[in-house]
Amino acid sequence: MANLPDQKPHVVIVGAGFAGIYAAKTLGRAPVRVTVVDRHNHHLFQPMLYQVATAALAPSDIASPIRSILRRNANIEVLLGEVVSIKPNERVVLIDDESSLHYDYLIVGIGALNTYFGHNDWAPWASGLKDIDDALEIKRRVLLAFERAEREPDSVKRQAHLTFVVVGGGPTGVEVAGALAEIRRYALLRDFRHIDPRDATVVLLEGGPRILPAYPESLSRKAKDTLRRLGVDVREQTMVTAIEPDAVHAAGWRIPTRTVVWAAGNTVSPLLASLGAERDRQGRVLVDQFCNPPGMPEVFILGDAAQFTQDGEILPGICPVAIQEGKYAARSIMATVRGKQRIPFRYFDKGQLAVIGRGRAVADIRRLHFGGFFAWLAWVFVHIFFLIGFRNRVIVMIEWAWSYLTYQRGARVITGEGRPRPEPRS
Amino acid sequence: MANLPDQKPHVVIVGAGFAGIYAAKTLGRAPVRVTVVDRHNHHLFQPMLYQVATAALAPSDIASPIRSILRRNANIEVLLGEVVSIKPNERVVLIDDESSLHYDYLIVGIGALNTYFGHNDWAPWASGLKDIDDALEIKRRVLLAFERAEREPDSVKRQAHLTFVVVGGGPTGVEVAGALAEIRRYALLRDFRHIDPRDATVVLLEGGPRILPAYPESLSRKAKDTLRRLGVDVREQTMVTAIEPDAVHAAGWRIPTRTVVWAAGNTVSPLLASLGAERDRQGRVLVDQFCNPPGMPEVFILGDAAQFTQDGEILPGICPVAIQEGKYAARSIMATVRGKQRIPFRYFDKGQLAVIGRGRAVADIRRLHFGGFFAWLAWVFVHIFFLIGFRNRVIVMIEWAWSYLTYQRGARVITGEGRPRPEPRS
């Protein structure tokens, strides 16, 4: 009568991002009970979120219900809810509906949130890009900006509608800026009668000395050249000092605009404070070589929520890190359950890719640094390969083929009321 | 020097539904200037809206930007805005941003709105299905209902979450009820651990003596049988008397539910009151055999916004009527511009189709009344043929093929905050 179902150890996974989903999948046939808690009903393929924001794909193309992904694993339960507190001494997490879950092992992969570096008053005018609602909001604002410009008789105000500012020169900022440049040049070309969408200005602001700072310097230069050829105004060493309803101030410039995309700062949910472990300035929990906060071997903090140091460098907040950590945490738990020793985590770097536009990308794969069409092809294949769920793969392939052949964007439908955005004084 | 561009007659089209789009397309090469005004940026393929509400399709699959549809017609301008008033004596329409448009000819095809028969307090609990935001709201509520049931320990409350009430037995109500029955039986089958989605109850309430009242009686019976085989509880002659946060009252019944879809009553926007023409109880403008309100030959009221009587019967509010009237109005204007006589409008009835579920529909095509798989095939082909825009056709075909083969629903992603819905007293 050993191992009654409820005597199996209980693993609670908070967050169904890449770390959480891969951990759950790996535990899918292990002798444990698993509960996955997420405040959304879907897992999001975040690397393609900018494609929703720029009207190339529909939300359901890059998101799958968590229940579907884990349907075949009878030992896994999925719970729609938000974890509001962790009590490590009692081994309990509290959920927003005031229920609680006891865990034997806890895996936390809750990703990152936007931070405005203390300027939360900028948030209404500078939308971040972390989830589907963010992406739909950006899409709404971009498409409405063209509509408003078409109706605006005053040329100064018209140009403000046609100016898009992207703050932050990391992969997300580069992808969004490139995609906006392409919409403007191709997709909307013959749609308007009073404006020429090619008159739209896309400005990419980076506070540091170069865009794509995590890439080799040669690729940063290549990405900048490519963006400039697409007509993006790339400004490095340009720190934003203020965002107003109708302008961005940066390095002495005043840029009149109504549409700002914020891809600059990450922080981690205050939930982690309840753990009581040491955290860095971005709010990430300092973990040891086993992905545990010191002294808590039953708690794993993964992905963007953790600060993991390997060979003296902090691992970056990218998907491959989260995926490998998710699998690692699951295997560590299985080792402990079976009475075996855990081995330390080691990240295997397969390289990184950033896309800039149609047929344009940069690749940093081990010793190979290259850009252009082949980097883009590599990006397409890697991303489609990883897109979870067969349906999505087929649809995304067709959407891409179609948009590649015709320069059109299929998902150009404005929906929703939009978030409240204070009107600028005029 | 005749016919300078701005001397051409100006046609203003209010509403880019079927009537408006077909009128615009027909005027696309005529010697007139055309302005299409709509408060959405997209034309919606309304007959498939229920597929968005039931998570089978994404919004962009059934909507195309109006600008794209009319891009090739250089004489047509598209304006995103809401017409708030018509001044027929001055031949002017007023737009929500306080600008105005002068017209020589006016075409109004603004469709219908939901009415709750004087019970507007029911609206927060009984969402209508008129536009994409409505459809996304219904989808959100249905998917969340299953999530809440999964977490609800109390069996009475759980069953209330799993009860879906559809009010109104017209084509929309039948389609929604059938699709909900199928989600429950197939799509969600293995997703949950604590509930069996097959326990969900779908109730279809019709106030009149039979569902699909516009169809021959034999098809109403066939549709009812088919719905019952799908497990829908069909109740005819059951008038709703009250909708509360946690129950629907109808014909003495109290049905505990948290999810109500309203497909019962149509009315027309109060905008038409500003025209000063005679209107019926539903707010529709009484038009003559030329689709004009009496004494206003330059104004055409089309589709659901008009009451047009042919052979003693009022034309129904369905797509084919709107499409034929749209083309007719455009041709009448062209005739007048060319100094020719207008001929009266005559609706050519090609038949009607209502879908009930996977492989199930009813068809009323001239003398032919039939149901089952062939009616469904007819529905599929007619609807895909009419879906505007090549891209949509391909994607919709694949989504359907996929969902037909696997019983899955691709668009099951919950987004948005949801509309405010008062919490029930508990």
Do both B260 and B323 map to the same domain? no
Using an 8 Å CB-CB cutoff, list chain B residues near A143: 41
Q: What are phi and psi of B210, to 5 degrees?
A: -155, 155
pLDDT tens digits, A40-54: 999 998 888 998 998
Q: Classify residue A47: in a domain, yes or no.
A: no
Q: Classify residue A29: in a domain, yes or no.
A: yes
Do both B175 and B108 map to the same domain? no
Which residues neighbour A121 within 8 Å (Cβ) at sequence distance 6 or greater? Answer: none
Q: State the catalytic residues of A.
A: 175
Distance from CA of B327 to the nearest CA of A (A): 23
Whole-number pLDDT of residue A426: 38
pLDDT tens digits, A1-19: 344 456 899 999 999 999 9
Do both A208 and A274 map to the same domain? no
The partner residue sitting opposite B132, judged by closest CB among A61, A133, A415, is: A415
Q: What is the mean pLDDT of chain A?
A: 89
Q: What is the mean pLDDT of residues B205-230?
A: 93
* Whether A412 and B60 lie within 8 Å, measured CB to CB: yes
Do both A148 and A208 map to the same domain? yes
Of the listed B90, B98, B147, B175, which one is catalytic? Answer: B175
Question: What residue in A sits closest to B38 (Cα-Cα)?
Answer: A147
Whether A111 and A303 have beta carbons less than 8 Å apart is answered as: yes
CATH number at residue A279: 3.50.50.60
**Nearest to B300, CA basis, from B344, B330, B339, B269:** B330
Do both B256 and B286 map to the same domain? no
Using an 8 Å CB-CB cutoff, list chain A residues near B144: 80
Query: Parallel, antiparallel, or unpaired: how do β-strands B232-235 and B201-205 relate?
Result: parallel
Q: Classify residue B287: in a domain, yes or no.
A: yes
Question: Does B191 touch chain A if contact means CB atoms closer than 8 Å?
Answer: yes
Please give, one letter per residue, the 3-state secondary structure of chain A. Answer: CCCCHHHCCEEEEECCCHHHHHHHHHCCCCCCEEEEEECCCEEECHHHHHHHHCCCCCHHHCEEEHHHHCCCCCCEEEEECCEEEEECCCCEEEECCCCEEECCEEEECCCCEECCCCCHHHCCCEECCCCHHHHHHHHHHHHHHHHHHHHCCCHHHHHHHCEEEEECCCHHHHHHHHHHHHHHHHHCCCCCCCCCHHHCEEEEECCCCCCCCCCCHHHHHHHHHHHHHCCEEEECCCCEEEEECCEEEECCEEEECCEEEECCCEECCHHHHHHCCCECCCCCEECCCCCCCCCCCCEEECHHHEECEECCEECCCCHHHHHHHHHHHHHHHHHHHCCCCCCCCCCCCCCEEEEEECCEEEEEECCEEEECHHHHHHHHHHHHHHCCCHHHHHHHHHHHHHHHHHCCCCCCCCCCCCCCCCCCCC
Using an 8 Å CB-CB cutoff, list chain A residues near B60: 58, 410-413
Looking at the predicted structure, is the pLDDT value of residue B199 above 80?
yes
Do both B89 and B163 map to the same domain? no
Q: Classify residue B347: in a domain, yes or no.
A: no
Task: Scan residues 78-97 of B and list those with Cβ closer than 8 Å to A.
Answer: 78-81, 97
Do both B146 and B223 map to the same domain? yes
Tell me which of A68-77, A107-116, A211-220, A370-379 is least confident.
A370-379
Q: Classify residue B55: in a domain, yes or no.
A: no
Q: Classify residue B174: in a domain, yes or no.
A: yes
Tell me which of A121-125, A410-414, B39-43, B250-254 is least confident.
A410-414
Q: Classify residue A57: in a domain, yes or no.
A: no
Give B348-386 as a DSSP string.
----EEEEEETTEEEEEETTEEEESHHHHHHHHHHHHHH
Domain extent at residue A292: 5-39+81-112+268-337
Using an 8 Å CB-CB cutoff, list chain B residues near A41: 143, 147, 412-414
**ipTM attached to this prediction:** 0.76
A276, A309, A337: which is the final residue of a domain?
A: A337
Between CA B375 and CA B424 the distance in angstroms is 42
Do both B91 and B152 map to the same domain? no
Between CA A270 and CA A280 the distance in angstroms is 12
Do both A312 and A363 map to the same domain? no
pLDDT tens digits, B69-109: 898 899 999 999 999 999 999 999 999 988 999 999 999 99
Between CA A383 and CA A136 the distance in angstroms is 21
Question: Does A401 touch chain B if contact means CB atoms closer than 8 Å?
Answer: no
The partner residue sitting opposite A41, judged by closest CB among B59, B143, B193, is: B143
pLDDT tens digits, A386-410: 766 655 666 676 776 666 666 666 6
Q: Classify residue B312: in a domain, yes or no.
A: yes
- Structural domain total, chain B: 2
pLDDT tens digits, B97-146: 889 999 999 999 999 999 998 899 999 999 999 999 999 999 999 999 99
Q: What is the mean pLDDT of chain B?
A: 89
Do both B93 and B181 map to the same domain? no
Whole-number pLDDT of residue B383: 78
A298, A314, A337: which is the final residue of a domain?
A: A337
B264, B298, B328: which is the final residue of a domain?
A: B264
Q: What is the mean pLDDT of residues A215-222?
A: 92
Looking at the predicted structure, is the pLDDT value of residue A336 above 60?
yes
**Nearest to B211, CA basis, from B175, B171, B240:** B171
Do both B284 and B197 map to the same domain? no
The partner residue sitting opposite A41, judged by closest CB among B68, B391, B414, is: B414
Do both A308 and A400 map to the same domain? no
CATH number at residue A245: 3.50.50.100
* Whether B413 and A191 lie within 8 Å, measured CB to CB: no
